[in-house]
Amino acid sequence: MSDCIFCKIAEHEIPSDIVYEDDKICVYNDIAPQAPVHALMIPRKHIASLDDVTVEDQELLGYMLSKVSDIVKILGIENGYRVVSNNGDNAQQTVKHMHLHILGNRKFTWPPG
């Protein structure tokens, strides 16, 4: 999508601190971190939210989840981390491109807020 900031980051049109990328996903450090380590994992395919995921996307989302363990090793947070997906306005999804937050290097509380 031409006006999506996350699509532009994945296409290297906007600079970012990329920690991992391949042909399906891009992972980069969040510019407003909510933990000492806070990265975003985005699919290169534009999917606005979890509400827009289709059966055709199940392989891509499975791939994303399977890559989390590799990413946390790159980030150095394999001792404990949180993966979050905000969906919709009430959940504070501010960019309409489905993404996973990978957070670590601090003790998290429950419930999250």
pLDDT digits (tens, 9 = 90+) for 62-90: 999 999 999 999 999 989 999 999 999 89
* pTM, entire model: 0.94
Which of 18, 21, 22 lies closest to 30 in space, CA to CA?
18
In angstroms, the CA 42 to CA 64 distance is: 8
Q: Could you tell me the two tokens for 74?
A: 């790159």
In angstroms, the CA 18 to CA 29 distance is: 7
Question: Which residues are known catalytic residues?
Answer: 99
Which of 82, 74, 84, 73 lies closest to 104 in space, CA to CA?
82
pLDDT digits (tens, 9 = 90+) for 3-51: 999 999 999 999 999 999 999 999 999 999 999 999 999 999 999 999 9
